[in-house]
Chain A
């Protein structure tokens, strides 16, 4: 207790003394936590609404077995799929916070702070920002309820009360984000705790293991073998395949980015391309984290397209299933697009803040801002190309059985959905242009 009080007091004091730059660094993770929180609650609200209608008998007929349980399974699957990018965004926020604080914490350690005090300050900082973000996210979720209620489902609009997740889920989601932030803080503290001079330097990055390619190949071979043995591919199997595809893409994606980045860096002729490629090679996992969310989005857009082509027959127990799957996939696509855009914006903003001295040095040497903007755009654009190529390949493999249902109109809708999602991603990136302008300002 004797240590706790002065540490908390010092943390509070340092927070109050933060300058504008430090405040902005604080705001970025809070924004990321807010988006993660809002997306998590919206995703869960969909599951709650679907499950509520099933339990209430709106889906199922009396006396039937429970084919409508498939609705709940699919909704739970969507939440599960979204949980990965949502938690990743939360992790990005936490890492951003801690990396920006490492230097200050190292100085505090040098000034005599114990490991316990530095750890406590980190946990206080990350948790308080996660809580602030979760609070904002909850407000955003509540504000979005009337909009969500306009989504058609099972032939009629959802009701606001159906989308209310309840206090238990609300508090659990806030606690989950706070825990994630605290854990990330503790893990990231390790470098500072080991030595007061635990400052990390950029070194030549280690190659990612080829095992990733082997594991992905095994998963694909398994899918081909299983799907080839089935006369008819059921929706449940497709859903399972979707999960396997997401896992496979996430395994091979960073490795593919690393190889692609090395190739582009070697072949590049222009500085913007070289800079972008080197940044990808520097941390392919980080580059992948932003665009992997888009991989999920593209798979979902594909799912929405192919399910739209499935025709229901008279007497079908779930007449709205195909239509509702399409709607659900599009809503999920919308949510993951927001997550991807936030992740791109926050990561890029943090990079600009981190590299402000280098940007200024480049500006002194006469580098025009357009080159720096182009490098940042390529830094997201090049991984996006790889992501889209990989995902479309997997989509073809997965949904080939349903390809005969797909018409030109559906393909146009697919292109529009993916195009909007990509546009949102670049909008997130564009949001940090102002920061770059001020970082490279000469006066």
Chain B
């Protein structure tokens, strides 16, 4: 476990679990020139099983880049991301895609649902992509959709749903494969405050009920307040950490 020592981390490395998502000393640069500041400048973080974590910070602080690197969407320039015995930064694109399909769920601000598919097929899509036949996949997501209060709306298309309902379908889709971690990037950014709070509450509750960890990138303290831990970033670094009710 000590091999995951995090020199820049504000997070203690004690009580590591093999099922945790663990990032060590992540550096990532988009720029081609040496004087371009890195989007991530040595970030280390551990997300425990079933934990909900919000990542906050001003625009350009590196929140979304951190989410993409943790999820294996982007390979970091240096550093490592460990998940269930794999170092994501060393896996091929194909292996990372397969891992994302199997182990991770995603919720974005909006626009991720395919407009031609009814809600239940949109939610069932990850299961089908993993090889499950359509009837079985649809049957499985119906319970999740119902749990999110979408009874009677399963046959509707995204264009026939409100913003909050569409985000609930996106949550159902993210949870369909029983992922280990759900990554959410500004999941309530396109919703009004009241709907956003309701959706966020359901996202946290449903993720916990499925035993998954949750990582939410947001600029909204109200949204972050739903999570057990809040990480604050600035200039590509984690600058502070707050647990619900405490500050460090």
Indicate if the CB atoms of A202 and B100 lie closer than 8 Å. Answer: no
B133 within 8 A of A: yes
The CA-CA distance from A275 to B121 in the complex, in Å, is 9
The count of residues in chain B whose C-beta lies closer than 8 Å to any C-beta of chain A is 38
- Please choose the segment from A300-308, A365-373, A406-414 that sits at the chain B interface, where 4 or more of its residues have CB less than 8 A away: A365-373
Indicate if the CB atoms of B116 and A282 lie closer than 8 Å. Answer: yes
- Please choose the segment from B122-130, B204-212, B228-236 that sits at the chain A interface, where 4 or more of its residues have CB less than 8 A away: B122-130
Indicate if the CB atoms of B116 and A202 lie closer than 8 Å. Answer: yes
The chain B residue sitting closest to A368, CB to CB, is: B97
Chain A 358-385 interface 0/1 with B at a Cβ cutoff of 8 Å (1 = within): 1001111111100100000000000000
The CA-CA distance from A355 to B115 in the complex, in Å, is 9
Indicate if the CB atoms of A358 and B111 lie closer than 8 Å. Answer: yes
Indicate if the CB atoms of A368 and B94 lie closer than 8 Å. Answer: yes
Indicate if the CB atoms of A202 and B101 lie closer than 8 Å. Answer: no
The CA-CA distance from A358 to B110 in the complex, in Å, is 9
The count of residues in chain A whose C-beta lies closer than 8 Å to any C-beta of chain B is 28
Indicate if the CB atoms of B74 and A442 lie closer than 8 Å. Answer: yes
Indicate if the CB atoms of A271 and B129 lie closer than 8 Å. Answer: yes
Indicate if the CB atoms of A202 and B98 lie closer than 8 Å. Answer: no
The CA-CA distance from A269 to B121 in the complex, in Å, is 11
Indicate if the CB atoms of B159 and A366 lie closer than 8 Å. Answer: no
The CA-CA distance from A202 to B74 in the complex, in Å, is 32
A17 within 8 A of B: no
Known contacts: A203-B157, A203-B159, A443-B74. The answer to whether A365 contacts B126 by CB under 8 A is: yes
Indicate if the CB atoms of A279 and B116 lie closer than 8 Å. Answer: yes
Residue of B71, B114, B118, B155 ringed by the most chain A CB atoms within 10 A: B114
> In the complex, how many angstroms separate the beta carbon of A356 from the nearest chain B beta carbon?
9
Indicate if the CB atoms of B117 and A270 lie closer than 8 Å. Answer: no
The chain B residue sitting closest to A270, CB to CB, is: B128
A232 within 8 A of B: no
Indicate if the CB atoms of B128 and A364 lie closer than 8 Å. Answer: no
Residues of A within 8 A of B126 (CB): 365-366
The CA-CA distance from A271 to B98 in the complex, in Å, is 16
Indicate if the CB atoms of A274 and B94 lie closer than 8 Å. Answer: no
> In the complex, how many angstroms separate the beta carbon of B3 from the nearest chain A beta carbon?
28
The chain A residue sitting closest to B136, CB to CB, is: A269
Residues of A within 8 A of B105 (CB): 365
The CA-CA distance from A203 to B160 in the complex, in Å, is 6
B16 within 8 A of A: no
Known contacts: A202-B158, A203-B159, A271-B128. The answer to whether A357 contacts B111 by CB under 8 A is: yes
Which of A270, A278, A365 is within 8 Å of B100, CB to CB? A365
Indicate if the CB atoms of B102 and A366 lie closer than 8 Å. Answer: yes
Question: Can you list 5 A-B pairs with a CB-CB distance of less than 8 A?
Answer: A202-B116, A202-B159, A270-B133, A366-B96, A366-B98
Report the 9 A-B pairs with minimum CB-CB distance, sorted nearest first.
Answer: A366-B101, A201-B159, A366-B100, A361-B112, A202-B159, A202-B115, A271-B128, A269-B133, A357-B111
Chain B contacts to A: CB under 8 angstroms: 68, 71, 73-74, 94, 96-102, 104-106, 108, 111-118, 121, 125-126, 128-129, 133-135, 155-160
